[in-house]
Structure 1
Amino acid sequence: MSQSLFNPFKDLIFDEHFCFLSGDLTNENITVFPEWLMNHFKFGDERIEMMDKSKAYTYADLKLPCSAEVKKAFEELDVKVQAAFKKGFEGMEELDQELLFQWTGRMVYGLLYYEMVYERDRLLKKGEEFKLSQTLRKRFGYFHLMLQSLIEPISFKGKKPWSIAVFPLKYSSDIFSYRDDAINLMFSFGVNGFGFVACLQDNGVIGEKQKELLDKIEGHVLHPVQFEELYARFHYSDYILQYKPEYNIESQDSGITIEVKTADKLPVFGLWDEDIFAQLLSNYWQVYGIEKEDILQFQKPPLSFLENPYTKDFIDPESIKLPF
């Protein structure tokens, strides 16, 4: 990893006077979730809980310290994403995936930042030292470096370090749906018109694992229950992922190049356990009243709204009678 750029995970620096991205001293800040998005869907006053459920914030209160340069860069990125957002699926699909990675990365990193600060302060009150495993330091440090591509001459060579899938989606016009797993660097986003799922540091292997399904989806407008199932498949695939993403990083006068290292050992994924997956999926489908027992029934294949369990044909979204 480049030694010249700020890496907060090296010395666990999460301070309100240091820009979260560049490390520059600052008194300015930026919201974790873009203001235009919170205003459009009116969720700024809604509450979000930390992972252990013992502390909550409003979305609008989640802010990251940032320099004027970083704030300007994200504002310019927001203009591009908002313009694409207004065009719906076509606009978002045409958006460069690196921009979508940076835009999504701001929110995922922001939530991760708050988890780090919360855990540090919790341990400090107990007189204990805040520690992070070397594995997580390395993983989060790579993610932070990639996010700095917004403000630094950082380029990605060959295979991208992420899996991002964008597709048409049908929701009621006033609904904004998102899920995140900041520790595992995952995010899903859905509104009327389009949705996307993102694994921000899987080196593209989860997208490859789900490619056959993604090919079937192409040309269809997903029902929300299908969107939830797709994210559940990405999320569980990340859970059983068995290798640590590694990179070749070269620093030159012209900038930094990041290249994905190919995994040497196979299989990359562990065993897919239908019982565990059904539990995860039932959490996503609870709004439809679908329980784990409905997904796994004796002598029947697992319930799916994406593929016919017998023929593996894609299920036409228009045939699904559940509300959207």
Structure 2
Amino acid sequence: MNTAVYNPFKNFDFKNDKCFLSGDTFSSPLATVNVLPDWLLSMANLTGNEQIQLLDETIRTYKSLVVPCSAKVYDEFVSPLEDKIALAFGKGYEGVSALPEIDLFNWIGKLMYSFLYIEMQGAIRLQQLSGDGMNMSQGLMHKFGNLHTMLQSIYREVVLEDFTPWSIVVVPLENEETAFSFRDEINTLTFSLKFKGFGIVACLQDNGTNRRYHQDILKSISGKKLSEQQFEEIAARFFYSAYLFNRLPEYTIMPVDGVIYIDAMPLQGMQNKPLFDAWAHKTYGQVLENFWKPWGHTLFEIIKDPRAPMSYFDEPFLPATS
């Protein structure tokens, strides 16, 4: 039995001396991979000099965000994945909606883990993490480690035993010239992106629970093109419900003959409480205010009726409050 499943969180391997995906060490100068790939910057008409603020409050340009990768893993696996995503993005909603969800999961997961890799380096610099332990919760490390194990499917065979670890939603947008933008929340591993004529929302470690939680609104918008405000409203709901999701998914991980088999443990477990904490319209309104910032909606306006927050949908299908 092969028990070699690389977990960078065991030894805090964020020193640019190993491949960020495989853990391979380098016998030659490091190869680096842009977190935001060149094709995406080019397609979005970005220069790479655009700036982003990291959790340690440092300001970095897009093109300065890089992670180490072995040439073999990049050339044989990462690059073909990027080519597939680039081709789909070029076709807009038609192309992206036709992608297998595992490809979107791997691409989004690689993007988020790359940001996490860089954030971990910043935390180490600030001495928030140390080699023997840290101020990051064991639960978060466990969640991030599970994501990294699943991302091994980019370059080796990983079998998910009758479950999907993600909720991924792809919707068409009314404006087919929508400017590129994205947001992520590392603690909950939640991500959204809009570009051209499509929007994507993803929760990467929820076993599909957030998608089921919002099934009523998702069913009502199926096949309909959304305005940007409507897309951001959907994204806000997922980001908030991911925060309310109160389980840490557990998996049985079994490497056999070079293949990693992953089985999900029941989320309910021995607990009787619901999978989500109580939905609160006021807190949701605060999230929505941030997502609707380009349109200037204030919290007061959004929750003017505390029982029915503002919505761009005729039938909001909001979760019930306690």
TM-score (norm 2): 0.90
1:112·1:183 contact (CA, 8 Å) conserved in 2? Answer: no
Give the one of 32, 37, 41 matched to 1:38: 41
SS of equivalent residue, structure 1 residue 176: strand
Residue 321 of structure 1 corresponds to: none
SS of equivalent residue, structure 2 residue 84: helix
Distance 2:90 2:139 in 1: 39
Distance 2:210 2:170 in 1: 14
- In the alignment of these two chains, the number of paired residues is 309
| Stretches of 4+ aligned residues off by more than 4 angstroms | 124-131
Give the one of 235, 255, 280 matched to 1:273: 280
More deviation, 34-43/169-178: 169-178
Q: 1:286 and 1:137, CA in 2 relative to 1: closer, same or farther beyond 3 A?
A: same
- Pairwise CA RMSD: 2.2
* Aligned-partner residue type, residue 270 of structure 1: D
2:281·2:306 contact (CA, 8 Å) conserved in 1? Answer: no
Residue 309 of structure 2 corresponds to: 302
Residue 317 of structure 1 corresponds to: none
Residue 158 of structure 1 corresponds to: 162
2:173·2:197 contact (CA, 8 Å) conserved in 1? Answer: yes
Distance 1:91 1:158 in 2: 26
SS of equivalent residue, structure 2 residue 254: strand
Give the one of 129, 142, 145 matched to 2:146: 142
Q: Does 1:199 align with 2:203?
A: yes
Distance 1:276 1:174 in 2: 28
Q: Does 1:224 align with 2:228?
A: yes
Give the C-alpha shift of residue 3 in structure 1. Answer: 4.4
Residue 243 of structure 2 corresponds to: 239
Q: Does 1:60 align with 2:55?
A: no
2:3·2:255 contact (CA, 8 Å) conserved in 1? Answer: no
Distance 1:124 1:299 in 2: 39
Q: Does 1:82 align with 2:86?
A: yes
* Aligned-partner residue type, residue 138 of structure 1: H
Give the C-alpha shift of residue 248 in structure 1. Answer: 2.2
Distance 1:130 1:160 in 2: 30
Give the C-alpha shift of residue 290 in structure 1. Answer: 0.4
More deviation, 265-274/55-64: 265-274
Give the C-alpha shift of residue 212 in structure 1. Answer: 1.4
Give the C-alpha shift of residue 306 in structure 1. Answer: 2.7
Distance 2:134 2:275 in 1: 32
Distance 1:79 1:124 in 2: 37
Structure 2: tracts of 5 or more residues without a match:
none
CA offsets, 1:242-296, max 9 Å, x none? 1111112222225111122222234100100111110110011111010111111
Give the C-alpha shift of residue 86 in structure 1. Answer: 2.0
1:232·1:284 contact (CA, 8 Å) conserved in 2? Answer: yes
Distance 2:178 2:128 in 1: 42
SS of equivalent residue, structure 2 residue 267: coil
Distance 1:241 1:69 in 2: 38
SS of equivalent residue, structure 2 residue 19: coil
Give the one of 264, 288, 291 matched to 1:284: 291
Distance 2:278 2:226 in 1: 28
* Aligned-partner residue type, residue 121 of structure 1: R
Residue 16 of structure 1 corresponds to: 16
- Aligned-pair identity in percent equals 37
Give the C-alpha shift of residue 126 in structure 1. Answer: 11
Q: Does 1:71 align with 2:71?
A: no
* Aligned-partner residue type, residue 284 of structure 1: F
1:119·1:130 contact (CA, 8 Å) conserved in 2? Answer: no
Q: 1:33 and 1:42, CA in 2 relative to 1: closer, same or farther beyond 3 A?
A: same
2:128·2:135 contact (CA, 8 Å) conserved in 1? Answer: no
TM-score (norm 1): 0.90
SS of equivalent residue, structure 1 residue 37: helix
CA offsets, 1:58-90, max 9 Å, x none? 011100001012212111001111111222212
Q: 1:40 and 1:258, CA in 2 relative to 1: closer, same or farther beyond 3 A?
A: same
Give the one of 98, 111, 121 matched to 2:102: 98
2:163·2:264 contact (CA, 8 Å) conserved in 1? Answer: yes
1:170·1:191 contact (CA, 8 Å) conserved in 2? Answer: no
